[in-house]
Amino acid sequence: MEKVNKIVWGIIGAGDVCEIKSVPAMYSIPYSEVKTVMRRNASKAADFAMRHSIGRWTTDLDELLNDGDINAIYIATPPGSHAELTVKCAAAGKAVYVEKPMANTYQECMLMIDACRKANVPLFVAYYRRTLPGFLKVKELIESGIIGDIRFVNIEMYQSSQPNMIVQQENNWRVLPEISGGGYFHDLASHQLDYLDFLFGPVAESKGIATNQARLYPADDIVSGSFRFENGIMGSGMWCFTTGLISEKDTIRIVGSTGELTFNTFGSPMIIQVESIENGREEFNYKHAQPIQQSLIQLIVDELRGVGLSPSNGESGARTSLMMEKMVRK
């Protein structure tokens, strides 16, 4: 794909994630604008366009794909449709920015990569934690050597099923594997595992056990996993989405030869706690600004204009999907 001076977006989906996390960045960043929003529900598409001052809306995907002004498309639908839509967007010559998880399966991810490669268009995935200041601080601390050589990482993610997780279950696509690829593990752990890929590089092997203990919905609600990075760093994780409120937890702990650090993946502020032989105890707090995807979208716009590079792409997104797939494989 040739570099362009201005990025003109078409939006597919326009659901909750678009409201404050992504689309406002697309029409506020220099050299970037949103021309058309597409959603199957006409009234919702029109309402979104009106509230965000977007000039056009449609329910017709072909109208979006055949618009010669649009050179990038943001796919903000559930993961089950990502592969099909990406293939169509690539065939139309559009750059693709797709929500996470990248797709329902690793095979679908590879189909997306292949379609974009053949069409000579870039493929980006919305793993924006790779660009947030707090997460970049963690990377900086590790690379500074303050906690020495990294030995292992451990993830603990526990959430209660009440009061909010199961609200409107009949409309909750995140717990329907045929739409989401899995349950809350796929929705939330994907951010954590992708970030670890950013910190430590590709994983050489991963495995795990997953099951549906509480049977509140069709998807697995508990996953135990272990993994090894190509550089020898070991990792493990436990994700449970049916604990009591008293047990809720969101912690990644990284242990090195001379210290350790912990931080939360979700919520704001992000609190980084470091304990090292050299500096003792330190704490850093980062409040995430909105739109939270703006820093990643800025880098995508920069790359499409030929003046920068996005740290999240189809290849890295596919690695995360493969890692999760191996952990939950029956």
H-assigned helices in 18-167? 23-26, 42-51, 61-65, 82-91, 106-119, 133-144
Nearest to 32 by CA among 84, 97, 78: 97
Q: Which regions of the chain does DSSP assign to beta strands (E)? A: 7-12, 32-38, 56-58, 72-75, 95-98, 123-125, 150-160, 203-211, 222-229, 234-243, 249-256, 259-263, 270-276, 280-286
- Contact between 312 and 98 under an 8 Å Cβ cutoff? The reply is no
Residue 163: the pLDDT is 59
Give me the percent of the chain exceeding a pLDDT of 90.
93
Q: How far apart are CA 152 and CA 116, in angstroms?
A: 35
Separation in Å, CA 81 to CA 6, 53, 105: 27, 27, 11
Phi and psi dihedrals of 284, rounded to 5? Answer: -130, 135
**How far is residue 210's CA from residue 238's CA, in Å, rounded to a whole number?**
10
Contact (Cβ atoms closer than 8 angstroms) between residue 182 and residue 189: no
The pTM of this model reads 0.96
List domains and CATH numbers for the chain.
7-126+292-308 (3.40.50.720), 133-287 (3.30.360.10)
Q: What does each C-alpha distance from 99 to 74, 96, 102 come to in angstroms?
A: 8, 10, 6
The tokens for 236 are: 């493990």
Dig out the tokens for 198 from the structure: 């950013």
Nearest to 228 by CA among 152, 316, 126, 325: 152
Per-residue pLDDT of the chain (330 residues; tens, 9 = 90+): 888 999 999 999 998 899 999 999 999 999 999 999 999 999 999 999 999 999 999 999 999 999 999 999 999 999 999 999 999 999 999 999 999 999 999 999 999 999 999 999 999 999 999 999 999 999 999 999 999 999 999 999 999 987 555 545 567 899 999 999 999 999 999 999 999 999 999 999 999 999 999 999 999 999 999 999 999 999 999 999 999 999 999 999 999 999 999 999 999 999 999 999 989 999 999 999 999 999 999 999 999 999 999 999 999 999 999 999 999 986
Residue found under tokens 């190509």:
230
Tell me the backbone φ, ψ of residue 78, rounded to 5 degrees. Answer: -60, 155
Token output for 13:
């989906």
